[in-house]
Structures are given as structure tokens and as C-alpha cells.
Amino acid sequence: MRRKAAVVGGGVIGAGWAARFLLMGWDVAVADPDPEAPRKVGEVLANARAALPGLHDVALPDEGRLSVGTSLAEAVAGAEWVVEAVPERLELKHRVYAEIQRHAPRALIGSSTSGFRPSELQENAADPARILVTHPFNPVYLLPLAELVPSPANPPEVVEQARAVLTGIGMHPLLVRKEIDAHIADRFLEAVWREALWLVKDGVATTEEIDDAIRYGFGLRWAQMGLFETYRIAGGEAGMRHFIAQFGPCLKWPWTKLTDVPELTDELVETIAAQSDAQSGAFTIRELERIRDRNLVGILRSLKGYAADPRDGWGAGRLLREHDARIGRPAPDLSGPILTGARAVPLDWTDYNGHMNEARYLQAFGDATDRFMEIVGCDADYIATGGSFFTAETHIRHLGEVHAGERIEIRTQLLGAEGKRMHLWHEMRAGGALKATGEHMLIHVSLATRRPSPPGETVAARLAEVWAAHARLPRPEGAGRAVGAPR
């Protein structure tokens, strides 16, 4: 039976949580009094379907079932996890928790609040131990960070349970060990936001100039290393102590205006809104969301690196690899063509023609080749001993288009394995239809000499085992074909 999560509040944050749980295989019930909620949740889910599954290089579980209604009681019934994502009013949240705990007394309640500490949320609750803060970042279905903030009223097993749920849906629960106002990340956002308001108010910079100052400079650094690791590099070989000693005095300089808060006059609001219109008004919010998602998918996948790379990925890309490993791949059945790939087409693999770029067919086939190598024992450990297969020759037929978010499967037949040569045949299908074939000749090489060399004994034996089964399979239509040959 699938696990069930409830989401109370179907705004952009609640809908983002719903999409993440659904795409990770949970059933989700959303409660929201807004009659527009089903449409709004559906729009976020559509964006999430195109973006999230393609972050992973394995197939996610089948999507769960979604229901959206107005009844909180129905939504939380049978849920083991309840997301609270209602407006930031404490008395409202208290009322919501009372009702949740009446109908689902065993459920864990994770509040999306940025403005309240868990001990404030827990005041007067029937069961304070099951309420804590799990603060996400928009878009919830793509950004892995969730600040997990317990109070002393939450026993360790509740914290552990929350951590397991968040990890299970592909997030990074950052345990905030001391509850403080705004947790951790929003303290920075708040500091930057105030400074930005001053710069606009004082006419030093427009909203667009401020955004450019961020995204052409330190924003690129912070997407992959944070503040301290970046400064560690800036300190150079002399290290972090040197960096702080050098820059410490600068702290005394009068560089921020944050001792005071600019008054949000109508004039300032209008200035910001007008500058923002000038900057981004050419796009609707929906368009900006899709652009953002494509960018984030591209950034996250670039931090992840090539699927078969034994290196770990970096930052948020490493988190994705860890989640892929948790999901795992099915055990191979060697008796017929072997399932060597099952994945969704990533957003950033599609191009201006609206379909998967031709090079990504070879990337998917290359990943399948790597999976086949792993199956026959040519895995990271083997490669570390100095041998590997290099592709010498490739023939691809593009037989149909595939689009972002579409699930593809690749099955691989061994066409031959003698000496240093390994001859592979990949078939890529989507929705049962054959979309592409790939025929590849690989040569085993010594990584020291970069020259052909025979594979190690275990790999050779395992290849022979597969060949014993696959030699009996019919030769696939199209194998041995040259470009432009008649059918």
C-alpha cells in the first residue's frame, strides 16, 4: 500500500510539497477552501512532472494518487505525514493543528513556516511532540533544502522519523539544532532583502541591476559552494585563518545600512514594482516559472555529472546521486535483452525543436552502455584497476521524438563479445513504441597505455555468460546497417 501525505493549504508552497510527494510515489490529499485550488495545484504539478523526474538517472516510483478538496478531516485521515502550509498567522496555525490532531492523532505535522519557531507552534497543542518545522524553499519540487527545526518537546525518534521522510522524498533535511527566529537560511535572505530595499530606495541600483550583481557574480559561486568554502578558496593556500585575519578589519567598515529598516512607503513599493515590471514584465509568472525550472534542472544536472561517473557529484548534485542510489535499479535478467536504463527525459535535454536533442540519445545510450558494463563486472572498482571499454563506433537511428518528462526505457542485447571487442545493441522505447536504436562497438583498453588490451578474467567470464544467452536471440532488425542504406 502506498504511503499517504496530507497537505493543508494548496498555495505555491503546499502545491510544491504535494507534487514532490506524488512524484516520489506517495498518495497525497490536499485540503484548501479555495475553489480554485484544484486548478492551481494541477498547474504546479504539471511543471513538477516536466522537471523533477528528469533530475534522476533511475526511474522514480509510479506517481501516487492526488485528491484536492475542502475538507481537512478527509484529507488528513490515514495520513502519516501532514504538511502545514497555511498563511503565517499563529492563531490560524494553532487552530489547524488542533483539527489535524483530532482526525489524525498519530500523524507527524511539518510546518512550512519561516516566521515561527517550533515551540511557538506547539503552544497548547494536544500533542506538541508531533509538531515541528520543516521549512522548504520554492520550488519545493526541485530545491532539496528543508530546514528541520525541532524544539525540546520533540523526542529524538520524531526528529529521526521526519528526517527519514524528507530524505525519502529526495530532500536534504538540515537539522537546525537551536531554534531561532527565521531558522538559518532566511536570516541571510532577510539581511540581503533589507540591504536591497535600501539600495533601491536610495536610487543606487534598480531591481535589475541588483539581480545582475547577484546572478553574474556570487550567485554562481553560491549555487555550488557556499559562503565559507568560497572564502576558503579566496584565502588560498594560507587557508581560512589567513582569510579571516585579512578581512576581519573590513567588518568595521560602514558597509551596511542594516541598523535601520527602510519604511515601506507607497512610493517605495511603487518604485520596486515598476522596476520589476521593466525587468521581467516581458514574461508571465508561469513563463518565468518554466524558465526557472529549466535553469534549475540544468544547474542541478550539471552538478550531478555523467550518470556513470564514479565520482560523487558535487553539492546538490551529490544529493541527487545519493537519492538515485536509494531508489536503486532492478536486478538484471540476463536471459533476454537487459533493462539497462529507465528514466524520464530531463527538461534540459530538450531543444528548440521541442524534443530531445540528438546528442542526448547518445548520452542515454552511453549511460545504458555504462550500466551494461557494470552488469558484466566492468564497474568503478574494476576501472580503478586500469581497464575499461571505450566506444569505437556508434550507429543511431532516430525513429520517433521524445519529450521532456517522458519516461524512456532502454534494453540491451549483446551482439558479440570476442577478445577485446564488445558489440552492443540498444533499443529505446517510450510508451511501448520504439523511439531509437543504438549499435555500438566497444574496445577494451588499458587506461595506462590507452591501447587495446584483453578484459580481465571476471569481466570476460561474465560477458561469455551473457553471450551464451544472447547468442540465441534473433538478430535485431537494423543491426549492421549503414547510414542511408535502403530498408
The answer to whether residue 311 forms part of the interface with a second copy (CB under 8 A) is yes
DSSP 24-89: TT-EEEEE-S-TTHHHHHHHHHHHHHHHSGGG-SSPPPPP--EEEES-HHHHHTT-SEEEE---S-
List the x/- string, 110-129, binding to a second copy by CB under 8 A.
-----x--------------
Tell me which residue of 59, 89, 94, 69 sits closest to 18, measured CA to CA.
69
Q: Out of 148, 303, 356, 375, point to the residue binding a second copy (CB under 8 A).
A: 303
**Residues 260-289, interacting with a second copy (CB under 8 A):** 261, 264, 269-270, 272-273, 275-277, 279-280, 284-285, 288-289
**Residues 436-465, interacting with a second copy (CB under 8 A):** 439-441, 447, 450
The answer to whether residue 312 forms part of the interface with a second copy (CB under 8 A) is no
Interface stretch with a second copy, choices 73-81, 303-311, 332-340, 451-459 (CB under 8 A): 303-311
Q: How far is the CB of 183 from a second copy (least distance, A)?
A: 8
**Residues 76-95, interacting with a second copy (CB under 8 A):** none
Q: How far is the CB of 93 from a second copy (least distance, A)?
A: 16
Pairing between β-strand 433-446 and β-strand 27-31 as defined by DSSP bridges: unpaired
The answer to whether residue 67 forms part of the interface with a second copy (CB under 8 A) is no
The answer to whether residue 422 forms part of the interface with a second copy (CB under 8 A) is no
- State which residue, 327 or 396, has the beta carbon closest to a second copy: 396
User: Which grid cell is 170?
Assistant: 529526495
Distance of CA 424 to the CA centre of its chain: 31
Contacts with 254 (C-beta within 8 Å, 6 or more apart), sequence order: none
Interface stretch with a second copy, choices 66-74, 337-345, 461-469, 476-484 (CB under 8 A): 476-484
Rounded distance, CA 279 to CA 270, Å? Answer: 14
Tell me which residue of 130, 121, 75 sits closest to 101, measured CA to CA.
130
Q: Out of 94, 201, 329, 397, point to the residue binding a second copy (CB under 8 A).
A: 397
The answer to whether residue 430 forms part of the interface with a second copy (CB under 8 A) is no
The answer to whether residue 299 forms part of the interface with a second copy (CB under 8 A) is yes
Edge-to-edge strand order for the sheet containing 4-8?
Answer: 66-69, 27-31, 4-8, 81-84, 108-111, 131-136, 145-149, 172-175
Size of the residue set binding a second copy (CB under 8 A): 154
The answer to whether residue 481 forms part of the interface with a second copy (CB under 8 A) is yes
Cis previous bond, 262, omega within 30? no
**Residues 170-229, interacting with a second copy (CB under 8 A):** 172, 174, 176-178, 180-182, 184-197, 199, 202-205, 207-229
Rounded distance, CA 244 to CA 234, Å? Answer: 10
